[in-house]
Structure 1
Amino acid sequence: MNATPAPPPLPAPPAGRWTVPGRGRVIAGCCVLTALAMSLNRWIPNGPAAGNLGSLVQTFLPWTGLLVLPLLVGALLRRSRTALIAALLPALTWTGLHGPALLTDRGTGGPAELTVVTHNVDDANPDPAGAARAVVASGAQLIALEELTWPATRTYERELAATHPYHVVEGTVGLWSTFPLRDAEAVPIMPWTRALRATADTPRGPVRVYVAHLASVRLRPGGFVTERRNAAARNLDAALRADPAGAAGRTLLLGDLNGTTADAALAPLMSRFRSAQGEAGVGLGFSWPARFPVARIDQILVRGLTPVSARTLPPTASDHLPVVASLRF
């Protein structure tokens, strides 16, 4: 019996062809998921049971753009048109979210009537006098400082006395002003004092000023630990609601909130204000850590005032950058 002849081999696809069925599906799926995580980050599960994953992604949301390049390279290596087109989804989503901050000047222009600065000066700062000179050089009429220690506070009082004769210190936070201050008091947001409020009597009328330093967060094997910070934020929000002076007029919230304005866990507090950096800032405004900033956790939030410009200042000996904003009444 004669054997059946073997069929002739199939011709090889032309070099450079990108039409192999199914190729790149995994990469395309990753692209879609990345774009969804960027655009729908508010829907990412949060809370202790989820390891506060939502807050973690929202804190470092601008850095999700780093995922675009490996996805694009993977699509090219797989020679897949589907994956290559899909890689445009996270690229365009990231550009829509963060491109305006990088590509445009969001400042409103016009003269500024009030300049404010906030700086976590670091309780281990070896040069508090240098930090004081740096914030004075910003030209700010209101200076908020966080993470004060008793020895360093005396240095700040001495260095700022000539330019900012009015000041109040409560616990580890302080406010220095060129305008008279009144109704100053501590705000109980944590077991120890890390917040205050006062009214600055400016030539254009009173401005209620809050200075706060919320509890730190930690990244641990079990997830992103934010519970103490979230509790402090709720207490601060309650204090704002109960303050008739803050509810009725111009209000500033200055300080190290250990969270970004995108963090859904801080949404009730953030919803009371507008971000000076978000409305009129230069770039993304990352403020921590000073040597290589990766997040903007130092905030200037306003109500009843219009941001004109906002930016970070050059580093001091602190692990945070100072942030400054110019405002209009």
Structure 2
Amino acid sequence: MAQQVHVAETDDDGAGPERRQDRLRRLLDRVTRGWRGDRRIWRRGVVTAVVAVLLAGVMAGHARIPNAVGNLGSLTETFLPWFGLLIPVLLLIALARRSATALIALLVPAVVWADLFGGLLTTKSQGGGDLTVATHNVNADNADPAGTARAVAASGADVVALEELQASKVPTYEKALKSVYAYHRVVGTVGLWSTYPMSDVGPVDIKLGWTRAMRATVATPAGEVAFYVAHLPSVRVKLAAGFTARQRDRSADALGQAIERETLDKVVLLGDLNGTMNDRALNAVTSQLRSTQGAAGDGFGFSWPASFPMARIDQILVRGVEPESSWTLPATGSDHLPVAARVKVDTSADSSGS
């Protein structure tokens, strides 16, 4: 009878808590086999431990890395989330070396990375909002401008910004978007399409010598919103010069000054800023506005390059409106992914309830 009872208890194919604990113990025994009694586990892997601590220092102190030589600080900040990939590599090395010192040291960069980016691993979408916006660098060499325009319009955005508009292709974009957006203006190489009336449209001087930024007032049902569209200069990574971004930085400062002078309380900035929210060179802009992706996004929201997104340089930044959700859209014929966000313009109920 005792044998029959034993069979009945293990009929769940060993899925009970005790059996799972046994499996974990056996796995731990395999991993640590040969470690017991080995006093060198604390002496081995010192180099790996030092690298782990240095990695933590770079991530935690990225703001202190100087830009004086090749804009190294900005380059580091652009790809800062990817530094986390070094942690599992160092973990494998520590296990292979059977180094307790390295394993303990690895906790430091793991905690730092989690503190910086752990919140981006889960969605913060609220599912509300009364206005959907989108922005897309369509790429001047886009072979299918009409298809790209239709794809962005399919997002359901009430207001769409397009950057890197080639003059010869502007009529194609206008024709493709005409049935969805009753109002639009193109200024230089950027344009804004809206389902709601626009006024006070004009260029924004970002110190380039030609127009790659604009401003417009959009009369949404929940109130007037100042919309800025910007395409900041590109940056390059060169062996001799490093991260060349001087013109981008000057343009970011000029854009920040324009936004600082804005008289409307509600502001939305759409565009390709050629920089991430971590990049200190964009502080003139990012210190005034919130990222919809950071506040209410689904994951990291990387947008460039479209074939293998590694950084979010296409931004939706807001002030005076509440981000509710933010996401990337499917790839088009561009080398950038479009990005979209849902925001709440009418925040009066939130203000009265606080």
Same fold (TM > 0.5): yes
Indicate conservation of the 8 Å contact 1:200/1:207, yes or no: yes
Pairing of 1:220-235 with structure 2 (within 5 A): 220-221=238-239, 222-235=241-254
C-alpha displacement at 1:73, in angstroms? 1.9
CA distance in structure 2 between the aligned counterparts of 1:15 and 1:278, rounded to whole angstroms: 45
What amino acid sits opposite 1:231 in the alignment? R
C-alpha displacement at 1:78, in angstroms? 2.3
C-alpha displacement at 1:38, in angstroms? 1.1
Cα pair distance change 1:167/1:67, threshold 3 Å:
same
C-alpha displacement at 1:277, in angstroms? 0.4
CA distance in structure 1 between the aligned counterparts of 2:38 and 2:93, rounded to whole angstroms: 14
Aligned residues with identical type, % of pairs: 54
Question: Unaligned 5+ residue runs, structure 1?
Answer: 1-13
Aligned to 1:41: 62
Pairing of 1:248-327 with structure 2 (within 5 A): 248-327=264-343
Pairing of 1:81-92 with structure 2 (within 5 A): 81-92=100-111
Cα deviation, 1:57-77, whole Å, max 9, x if unaligned, reads: 111011001111221122223
Aligned to 1:58: 77
Aligned to 2:45: 24
Pairing of 1:61-76 with structure 2 (within 5 A): 61-76=80-95
What amino acid sits opposite 1:45 in the alignment? P
CA distance in structure 2 between the aligned counterparts of 1:267 and 1:241, rounded to whole angstroms: 12
Pairing of 1:232-251 with structure 2 (within 5 A): 232-243=251-262, 245=263, 248-251=264-267
Aligned to 1:6: none
Cα deviation, 1:17-52, whole Å, max 9, x if unaligned, reads: 542263222111110010111122111112xx3211
CA distance in structure 1 between the aligned counterparts of 2:318 and 2:269, rounded to whole angstroms: 6
Aligned to 1:8: none
From 137, 155, 160, give the equivalent of 1:143. Answer: 160
Aligned to 1:328: 344
C-alpha displacement at 1:294, in angstroms? 0.2
CA distance in structure 2 between the aligned counterparts of 1:105 and 1:293, rounded to whole angstroms: 18
Indicate conservation of the 8 Å contact 1:19/1:80, yes or no: no
Q: Is 1:213 the counterpart of 2:234 in the alignment?
A: no
Pairing of 1:74-223 with structure 2 (within 5 A): 74-102=93-121, 104-109=122-127, 111-189=128-206, 190-221=208-239, 222-223=241-242
Runs of 4+ deviating beyond 6 Å: none
- Calculate the aligned-residue CA RMSD, in Å: 1.4
What amino acid sits opposite 1:55 in the alignment? S
C-alpha displacement at 1:15, in angstroms? 4.5
Indicate conservation of the 8 Å contact 1:53/1:223, yes or no: yes
Indicate conservation of the 8 Å contact 1:18/1:81, yes or no: no
What amino acid sits opposite 2:137 in the alignment? N
Determine helix, strand or coil for the equivalent of 2:106: helix
Question: Unaligned 5+ residue runs, structure 2?
Answer: 1-32, 346-354
CA distance in structure 2 between the aligned counterparts of 1:80 and 1:224, rounded to whole angstroms: 37
TM-score in terms of structure 2 length = 0.85
Indicate conservation of the 8 Å contact 1:18/1:79, yes or no: no
C-alpha displacement at 1:56, in angstroms? 0.8
